[in-house]
Amino acid sequence: MNIEQLLTQAEGLLASWNKETIRPESNRLDVVIAGDDLRAAVTALHEAHWGYLSAVTGLDLGPASAQMEALYHFCSGPAITSLRIRLPHDNASLPSIADILPPASFFEREMQEMLGFKFSGLNISERLFLPDDWPEDVYPMRANFTLDQAAPVAGRHADELPEQGVVGGNTFVIPIGPQHPALKEPGHFEFTVDGEIVTAARMRLGYAHRGIEKAAESRNWIQNLYLFERVCGICSHTHAMAYSLGVEKLAQVEAPPRAQAIRELVAGLERVHSHLLWLGVAAHEAGFDTLFMYSWRDRETVMNLLEQITGNRVNYSANLLGGVKCDIGPEQAKAVKEGLTYLETRIRHYLEVVTTDVMFLNRTRNIGTISFDEAVRFGLLGPTARASGLVRDVRVEAPYGAYGHFPVSAVTETNGDLEARCEVRLKELLVSCFTMRTIVDNLPEGPLTVRMPRKIPAGETISRIEAPRGELFYFIKSNGGETPARIHIRTPSLCNWVSVLEKAVGRQLADVPMLIAGMDPCFSCNDRVVTVTRPGSNENWSWKQLREYGIEYYKR
C-alpha cells in the first residue's frame, strides 16, 4: 500500500470520532478527536493492525490559550497518523491506553511528570524521570515553568524499601543501580528475587537528566544542532541527523546528494561502533571477558575512521543544517575501505563465536525469548524487534536521506532469544559494511551544503531515523522564530524497556544483566528532559561560569 492508501484507510478507521482532519505533510494525517474517544480510536487502529504507537507528544500551547495538546503518533511504514487531543491546562486528564498498548505507560508517565497530564487508569504515581525531591504539581515542560518553582522539597523521598530489602521469607530485593558494575550508565532497577528466581521487577530512570528538550526552547536552531548531538554519546550522529533532516524539512531545503551520502556513511560507521560496543558489554555481562576485550579492540578501528573523517571520536559533529561539514577525499575513502575489510573479517569471526561457542550459548540460547506476537504487543523497535522476526527498520520502511539511493536490507531472525539479538546485530553490520563500501565507491559529486534560513518557517514536522538501537523519533515545532517552539524526542530504548521488565520475571538473577544488555539500553537517551541546575544547589553554574571553566580547563 502506498502512503495515500494507508492514510485513507486510517481516516476511514477513525471516521466515527473524527472532528477535524489536517494534512500537515504529504505523509502525515492529523485527526483531531475528543479525549473521551481516545480509547475507542486507539483500539480501532490497534485492532486493524494499522501501524504501531511510535510516540506520544505533549505540547503546551502557551499561557495565552491555557491549553495543552496530546499527540498520539502511529506509524505504519512511511505513513504517520496522529491523534490530536486538545485539553485545558487545569483539567488535562485523559484515559490511559497502557492496557491496550504496554509501551504507552512509559509515554504517559513522561507526560504526567513533565507536563502534568493526568491519566485515569494508569495508577502509577511513583516517578520515572523527575528527582524524588522535585515539588508536586510543578511541571518542567510547561511554558510558564521557571527555575524558582523547582526548589527541592525536603522530606519527599522514594518509597522506602523494607529493612535490608527482605520482603519476607526467602525473598529479597536486589537493587541494580544507579551505581552498579553491571551498568555503565545510571539507571535503577529493583528485582525481587526468591532464591535465584526473579519474581518482580521495577525500574527508575532520570539519573542523567540534563533538560535538553527544555534547553532547546531557549537556543537558536543552529545551537540546538550541537545540543542534540549531546543527547547520546554513542549515537550522537543519528540525533544530529534526525534533527537536521527535520529542520531542513520545515525550511523546505534539501541537503545536496553528496552530503546525504556522507551522512549515511557516518551513520553506518556509527552503527558499527555502537554494535561492537554492545557486543562487548553483552559478553561482559555474561562473564565472557575475552570477547569483550577483543570486540572493543576492533571497535578502535571504526573509532579511528570516524576520527579521520570528522575529526572527533564521540560527538562527530558531521552535520550542519543544510549539509555536512566533512568531505570524503581519496585518502579517507581508502582508509574507510581498508578499515571495512578488516572489520568485516572480524565481524564474521564474532558471528561464528556467538553462534557456535557452547559456553556462551549456554547464556544466550532460549533465554529471554520474545515471540513475534509479544514483540508486536510490547511495541519493540530496532534490532530487539528484528530478532523476533518483526521488521521495524525505518531505513527500510520509510527511507530517508540517501537511503533511497543506497538502500539497506532489513536483517531478521525468528528465535527472539538473546542469541538471535546477537546475530541480528552482527549480520546487520555486514549489511552496513556492504552499503558503506557502495557509498564510498559511488559518492555523488557536488557541493556539501546549501544555504539555510536563520528563521525556520512555522510548522510541525516529524523526523524518524533508524538509530543503532531502533527508531528515533523527533517531533519539531516551529513558530517561525529563531528558536524552536517545542522539540520532543522519543528514543528507542524507552520503547524497549517493557520487554526487559516483563521478561525478567521468572528468570534467574544471573540472566538479568544479560536481559538488560540484550536490548542495548541507552540511559542518557532516555534521560534528557529535566533541568538539573536548580536554586539552592551548589552546582548551579551560570553559563558564563561554565564557559570560563571550560576555557581555563583547556589552557592547562
Total number of residues that touch another protein (CB under 8 A):
35
User: What is the C-alpha radius of gyration for the chain, rounded to an integer number of angstroms?
Assistant: 23
Give the footprint of another protein on residues 138-167 (CB under 8 A).
164-165
The least CB distance from residue 181 to another protein, in Å, is 4
Sheet holding 459-467, edge to edge: 459-467, 470-478, 484-490
Helices marked H in 410-538 — which ranges? 418-441, 492-504, 512-518, 523-526
Residue with cell 528468570: 507
Q: Which of 43, 362, 409, 414 binds another protein (CB under 8 A)?
A: 362
The least CB distance from residue 171 to another protein, in Å, is 11
Partners of 461 in beta bridges: 476
The least CB distance from residue 360 to another protein, in Å, is 5
Q: Which is closer to another protein, CB of 375 or CB of 514?
A: 514
Contact 210, 471 (CB under 8 A): no
Q: Which is closer to another protein, CB of 366 or CB of 540?
A: 366
Q: Which is closer to another protein, CB of 173 or CB of 215?
A: 173
User: CA 237, CA 143: separation in Å to the nearest integer?
Assistant: 29
Strand positions, DSSP E, 4-105? 20-22, 28-32, 52-60, 67-76, 79-88, 93-95
User: CA 484, CA 213: separation in Å to the nearest integer?
Assistant: 10
Binding of another protein by 285 (CB under 8 A): yes
Residue with cell 541537503: 255
Q: Which is closer to another protein, CB of 357 or CB of 502?
A: 357
Q: Which is closer to another protein, CB of 183 or CB of 250?
A: 183
Handedness of CA 215, 479, 394, 301 (dihedral sign): negative
**x-or-dash pattern for another protein, window 166-205, by CB under 8 A?**
------xxxxx---xxx----------x-xx---------
User: CA 269, CA 255: separation in Å to the nearest integer?
Assistant: 20
Contact 198, 509 (CB under 8 A): yes
Find, among 29, 106, 35, 134, the residue nearest to 75 by Cα. Answer: 29
The least CB distance from residue 199 to another protein, in Å, is 14
Give the footprint of another protein on residues 495-534 (CB under 8 A).
508-513
Contact 516, 248 (CB under 8 A): no
Q: Which of 287, 329, 453, 550 binds another protein (CB under 8 A)?
A: 287
Exposed / middle / buried, residue 290 (Cβ in 10 Å: 0-12, 13-18, 19+): exposed
The least CB distance from residue 541 to another protein, in Å, is 33
The least CB distance from residue 173 to another protein, in Å, is 7
The least CB distance from residue 502 to another protein, in Å, is 19
Contact 118, 510 (CB under 8 A): no
The least CB distance from residue 164 to another protein, in Å, is 6
Q: Which of 11, 254, 344, 357 binds another protein (CB under 8 A)?
A: 357
Say which residues have a Cβ less than 8 Å from residue 422's Cβ, sequence separation at least 6.
Answer: 279, 282, 354, 355, 364
Q: Which is closer to another protein, CB of 262 or CB of 277?
A: 277
The least CB distance from residue 284 to another protein, in Å, is 7
The least CB distance from residue 267 to another protein, in Å, is 28
Work out the angle at residue 502's Cα, subtended by the Cα atoms of residues 129 and 107, and round it to the nearest 5 degrees: 35
Read off the amino acid at residue 373.
D
Q: Which is closer to another protein, CB of 83 or CB of 198?
A: 198
Give the footprint of another protein on residues 461-500 (CB under 8 A).
none
Q: Residue 483 is placed in which grid cell? A: 528558536
Q: Which of 107, 360, 497, 523 binds another protein (CB under 8 A)?
A: 360
Give the footprint of another protein on residues 297-356 (CB under 8 A).
297
Q: Which is closer to another protein, CB of 24 or CB of 165?
A: 165
Q: Which is closer to another protein, CB of 177 or CB of 492?
A: 177
The least CB distance from residue 386 to another protein, in Å, is 24
Q: Which is closer to another protein, CB of 110 or CB of 511?
A: 511
Q: Residue 153 is placed in which grid cell? A: 522539597
Q: Is residue 461 within a helix (H) or strand (E), and if so which, with residue range?
A: strand 459-467
Q: Which is closer to another protein, CB of 162 or CB of 453?
A: 162
The least CB distance from residue 278 to another protein, in Å, is 14
Q: Which is closer to another protein, CB of 37 or CB of 298?
A: 298
Exposed / middle / buried, residue 168 (Cβ in 10 Å: 0-12, 13-18, 19+): exposed
**x-or-dash pattern for another protein, window 76-95, by CB under 8 A?**
--------------------
Contact 515, 416 (CB under 8 A): no
Is the omega angle on the peptide bond into residue 178 within 30 degrees of 0, that is, cis? Answer: yes
Helices 3-13 and 38-47, interaxial angle, to 10°? 130
Residues in touch with another protein (CB under 8 A): 164-165, 172-176, 180-182, 193, 195-196, 283-290, 293-294, 297, 357, 359-360, 362-363, 508-513
